[in-house]
Amino acid sequence: MEDSQEYKNKKAYFEKIITLYGRNVVIEILQDETITIHKLHMSNSNKPDGAVETILKLAKKRGIEVVYHDKNALSRISKNAKQDQGVAIDIIASSYQSANEIKNLKSFKLLALDGIQNPQNLGMIIRSCAAGYVDGIILPKKSSAKISPLVIKASAGTLFKLPIYYCNTLDEILKELHDAKIYLLSSHAKNSIYDLKKNEKSIFVLGNESEGVSKEIEKFCNDSISIPMNRGIESLNVAVTASLIAFMR
């Protein structure tokens, strides 16, 4: 039987792996020295053209393990046979951790993202939160944009500097954080972001631009705050909202 601690460590390691695909993407990833790479996957059927040669040269230079697969096996790895172009790469998202870890934290200021589908917004949110005064973001796998080169680009290299707490859906973690202030952004709230007191444990829930926070998640919010706005304007870009919260200290 596998040693329990070793098994846990392995599981934690593999949960931090994100697989990206496509030739240009893989080249970009290999060129970015700030990204830790687990493995490069190549299809046997790749013809040794310019892009493939570049990929293999970059992988060799960085000492990355290359694994060859038949075409179908590669598709199972990339999960996108149509767009993988016979190459996929596993990167290690060192800052990724299970949202269950939040239960072990004594205090925190977190942003929970409910349905942020736009990769540029997600990247900007990560960048601002990493630079600002928050302890991490909660990213539900089911309703969020996938980590992709667009997200990495918009995050300007900050993707793995900020703790990212993943879960399948937000409710599964929110319902377990009984002693946290869970804030909904609302123009009707009594308190504004300028009145925020330092809570021991606070979570700010941000919904996507068109739908806002979903009904299912709204019911987990036990407080609300507003961002006071001028000139009759009612909303801000969600990445801007995240940034304002991140830099309120």
Residues in touch with its own copies (CB under 8 A)? 120, 124, 127-128, 130-133, 154, 156, 158, 161-162, 194, 227, 229-233, 235-237, 239-240, 243-244, 247, 249
Least Å distance, CB 243 to its own copies, is: 4
Name which of 168 and 192 has its Cβ closer to its own copies. 192
Name which of 124 and 138 has its Cβ closer to its own copies. 124
Name which of 50 and 232 has its Cβ closer to its own copies. 232
Least Å distance, CB 123 to its own copies, is: 9
Name which of 45 and 237 has its Cβ closer to its own copies. 237
Least Å distance, CB 105 to its own copies, is: 17
Name which of 9 and 34 has its Cβ closer to its own copies. 34
Q: Report residue 107: phi and psi, to 5°.
A: -150, 155
Least Å distance, CB 227 to its own copies, is: 7
Least Å distance, CB 128 to its own copies, is: 5
